[in-house]
Structure 1
C-alpha cells in the first residue's frame, strides 16, 4: 500500500515541480496568438475553455491504455509502479507537453509536419504513413474492446457485432462534425465519469486495505519476468505513448493561450498516470496473487478484471458506473483517432476541411479499412499497435529534442527518454515473433548499435539545423485561415 500511495504522491509532486521546470524551459509566450484564433475555421480550429480542453485531452489520450495496459503490466509486479511513475513524469508528460506546444507554435501541425520541419523532409512521408497506420490500428482496437465490455455488461444478451456497428456510426458522426458539437459538449461529462470511476476504485483499495505488493529487492517482480523490453510495450498510455502525439494537435488547435499548456498537456498525462497506478494496484492485489491474475486474464482478458474489481469494490451500481467509465475511454479515443487520421491526411494533401464533402471522402475509406481490420485477431493487432505506438513516441521525443537543441536549450529532457525508448523499440522488433524473432542478446546488440547510428545522424542534422537557423515557429502574420 505504501508503494502505491507514494507513487501517486510522486506523480502529483511531479506536475508541480518537473512540469513547471519543463514549462519554464520551453518558454511560454502568453501574448502570442494561438491557432484557435488565427486559423479559426469553425470545424477543427475553435477556441475552447481550459477545462473543456483538459477533459478532452485526457479522454483523447487515455483509450484503454491506462486501464488494460497496467492490468496486464501488473504481471510484472511492483516494477510496473516504477515505470508508470518515472515514465509518466520524465517521458510521457514531457512528450505530450512538447508535442502540444510545438504544434501550437506551428499552426496546430500534426506530427508528420513537425517531423518534416525538424527531422528532414523525408521523415514527413515516413511519419505520415506511420501515423495513419497507428491511428487505424487504434481506431480498430478501440471498436473491439468497448464492444466486448458492453457485451459483458449485458450478460451476453446483445451480440457484439451490434455494439461494433453502433460504435462505428458514432465514430463517423464524431469524426465529421465540428470539434465543439459532440466532443466539446459531451467529453467534460465523460471525463468526470472516468475520473470518478478510477478514484472510486482507488479509494476502495485503500479503505478495504487491499494487499497491494510493496516494492523491495526481493519483491521487484515475480518469477523473474522479462521486464526488458516487454514491460515498456505492455504499459504504454499510463507512462509513455506515441498515440498521444497524434492527439495533442487536436487540442493545440482549440487552446486559447500558451499558458494553458501545462494543465492541458503535462497535467492530463499525470492524471492518466494516476489512473494507471490505480488499475495496476487493483490487478496486483485482488486475485490471489499473480497466478490468479494470470488465470483470469487468460479466461476473460483485462475486461474481466475491470468488471470484477469494480463490482467488488463499489457494489453493483457503483461497479456498473465504473465499467461504463472504462467503456467511455476507448470510444472517446477511437473517434479522435479517426479524426486525427482525417486531419493528417488533409494536411498532407493540403485539403481544407471546412466543407463536409472534403471531410467525407477522406474519412469513409478509413472506416472501410477499419471494418476489415476488425476481422483480425485482437492480440495480433495489439502487438503491432504496441510497437508502432512506442516507435511514434521516439519520433515525437526526437522532434522535441531537435526543437530544444535549435533553441539552445536543455534538449536532454527529451533526448534521454527518446534514446532509452529507441533502444527498446529496436530490440523489441528484432526479438519478437511479430518482427525478426532473433535471440535476445543479438536484439540488444542491434538495439544499441542502431541507436548509436541514429544518434550520430541526429546530432549531424541538429548542428546543420542550428547553423541554418531553422525557424522554431511560424510567423503569425503569414498564417491564412484554414477555411
Structure 2
C-alpha cells in the first residue's frame, strides 16, 4: 500500500512541478485562439476551462487506463513505475505538445501538424495512419462496453444489439456540433469517471486485509506455464517491450494526439493548456494507477498461493470479464453496477470522439467544409460502417494492433514536437530534451515490439535469440532516429533563430 500512495503523490506533485517546467519551455502567449478568432458553430466553439478539461479527459481515457492497466498488472507491481514515469515524462508532455501545436496551427488535426514539421512523405503517411488508428480505437471502444452491457441486460440484448445501439449514438456524436452532445453530457460523465476510480481505490483499500496491495518489485511476475514432467516454466512474456505497449493509454498514447485537436479548437487561451492537456493525462495516469494496483491486489492474492495472476491471464487480462469481477467483488451489490456504468460510459465517450477525430482528419486532408451537413454525412456514414465491419474481428487481435500503432503514433508526434522546439527556439538542448528523450525512448519501445510480437515480425518465436535481436534492433533504430534529428535540426542554427524571430514578429502583429 505504501508503493501505491507514494506513486499517487508523485503523480500529483509531478503535475505541479514538471507540468510548469513543460509550460515554461513551450512559452504560451496571449494571441487569439482558433475558437476565439474563427468560431464556426460546429468544431470551433469556445468552452470553459473546466468543461474543456473534462471533455479532454473523457476523450483520451476510454478503456485504456482500465483494460490496459489491468493487463499490465500481469507483470506485477513493476507496472506502477511505467505508469508514473511514462505519464509525467512522456504521456503528459505528448498530450500537451500535440494540443498546443494544434492550437498554434488553427486547430489542425495531428496528421497536418506532423506533416508540417516532418515533411510531405510523413504528412501523407500520418493521414492514413491516423484514420486507420482512429477507426480501430472506435471499434475497441464500441465492442468493449457492448460486452459489459450484454452481461448486465437480458439475453436478447446481446453484444451485437448493443454494438448497433452504440453505433447509432456514435453517428449522432460524430455528426452534430460539439456543443450539442459532447459539450453538454461529457462534464457529467467526467465526474462519474473520477468517482468510479475513487470507488475502486476505496474498495481495494477496504479489502486490503484479505487482498493486500503488493509493494514495488522489479521482478517479472508474468504467469508462465509449468511443465508437469520437467518443471520448466515457459510462456513468461518479457516486461520490455510488452508491458510498455500493453499499458498504452495509462502511460502514453498516440491516440490522445488525435483527440487533442478537438479541444484545441475550443480553448479560450493558450494559458489553459497545462491544466487541460497535461492535467488530463495526469488524471488518466492516476486512474490507471488505481486500476493496476487494484488488479494486482485482487488477482495476485486471490488464491492465497501467489499464483492469482494466472487467473487474470486465463480470462485475457483487462476486459469486460475482469472488470465485472473486480467491481462486483470490491464494491458489492450496489457499488458494482455504479462502477460498471463508469467503465461503460468511459469508452463510449472516447469511441464517439475517435470517429469524430477521423472525420476531422479527412476534412483537413481534403479541405472539406464542416459546416455542410451533407458533406459531414458523406464522411461519417462510411467510417461508421467500416468500424462496424471490423467489430466482427477477434477483440484481442484488434487490441494488439491498436496498442502497437498507438505507441508508434506517439513516437512520431514526439519527434514532430522535437522538430518544432528546435526550429522555433533555435538549437537549444535545454528546450529540446523535453521531447527528444521520450521520443527516443518510445522509438526503442515501438521498434522492439515490432520485431518481437507475433502480429509483426515474430522474432519472439525464436526464444532468447529472437528477444536479443529485438532488443538490439530497437535500440539501434532509436539511436538512428536520434542521429537523424540531431544532424538535420542542428545543421543550420542561424536559420532556426531567424525563423524564431519571424514567428515572434508574426505573433506580435496578430496580437
Segments of 5+ residues of structure 1 without an aligned counterpart are: none
SS class of match (2:106) = coil
RMSD after superposition = 2.0
SS class of match (2:284) = helix
1:9 maps onto 2:9 in alignment: yes
Equivalent residue number for residue 310 of structure 1:
327
> Does structure 2 retain, via aligned residues, the 8 Å contact 1:194–1:329?
yes
Equivalent residue number for residue 462 of structure 2:
none
**Alpha-carbon distance in structure 1 between the residues aligned to 2:198 and 2:504:** 39
Q: Which has the larger radius of gyration?
A: 2
Equivalent residue number for residue 426 of structure 1:
447
**Alpha-carbon distance in structure 2 between the residues aligned to 1:441 and 1:310:** 39
1:156 Cα deviation from its structure 2 partner:
4.0
**Alpha-carbon distance in structure 2 between the residues aligned to 1:297 and 1:193:** 29
**Alpha-carbon distance in structure 2 between the residues aligned to 1:231 and 1:222:** 10
> Does structure 2 retain, via aligned residues, the 8 Å contact 1:67–1:276?
yes
1:401 maps onto 2:418 in alignment: yes
SS class of match (1:435) = coil
Equivalent residue number for residue 298 of structure 1:
314
Q: Which moved more, 1:398-407 or 1:446-455?
A: 446-455
Q: Which moved more, 1:147-156 or 1:325-334?
A: 147-156
1:113 Cα deviation from its structure 2 partner:
1.1
Equivalent residue number for residue 20 of structure 1:
20
1:40 maps onto 2:39 in alignment: yes
> Does structure 2 retain, via aligned residues, the 8 Å contact 1:297–1:305?
no
For the structure 1 residues 371 and 478, does the alpha-carbon distance in structure 2 shift closer, same or farther, using more than 3 Å as the test?
A: farther
| Pairs aligned (count) | 477
SS class of match (1:237) = helix
Segments of 5+ residues of structure 2 without an aligned counterpart are: 224-235, 460-465
Equivalent residue number for residue 215 of structure 1:
216
> Does structure 1 retain, via aligned residues, the 8 Å contact 2:440–2:481?
no
1:434 Cα deviation from its structure 2 partner:
0.9
**Alpha-carbon distance in structure 2 between the residues aligned to 1:76 and 1:420:** 20
1:446 Cα deviation from its structure 2 partner:
1.9
1:450 Cα deviation from its structure 2 partner:
1.8
1:352 maps onto 2:351 in alignment: no
Equivalent residue number for residue 344 of structure 2:
327
1:205 Cα deviation from its structure 2 partner:
1.7
**Alpha-carbon distance in structure 2 between the residues aligned to 1:156 and 1:98:** 46
1:225 Cα deviation from its structure 2 partner:
4.8
SS class of match (1:436) = coil
TM-score, structure 2 length as denominator? 0.89
> Does structure 2 retain, via aligned residues, the 8 Å contact 1:76–1:222?
yes
1:447 Cα deviation from its structure 2 partner:
1.6
SS class of match (1:17) = helix
> Does structure 2 retain, via aligned residues, the 8 Å contact 1:105–1:474?
no
1:448 Cα deviation from its structure 2 partner:
2.2
For the structure 1 residues 436 and 465, does the alpha-carbon distance in structure 2 shift closer, same or farther, using more than 3 Å as the test?
A: farther
Equivalent residue number for residue 479 of structure 2:
452
SS class of match (1:351) = coil
For the structure 1 residues 216 and 232, does the alpha-carbon distance in structure 2 shift closer, same or farther, using more than 3 Å as the test?
A: closer
**Alpha-carbon distance in structure 2 between the residues aligned to 1:184 and 1:102:** 22
For the structure 1 residues 136 and 282, does the alpha-carbon distance in structure 2 shift closer, same or farther, using more than 3 Å as the test?
A: same
1:239 Cα deviation from its structure 2 partner:
0.4
1:449 Cα deviation from its structure 2 partner:
2.4
**Alpha-carbon distance in structure 1 between the residues aligned to 2:121 and 2:506:** 24
> Does structure 1 retain, via aligned residues, the 8 Å contact 2:204–2:330?
yes
1:296 Cα deviation from its structure 2 partner:
4.4
1:320 Cα deviation from its structure 2 partner:
0.4
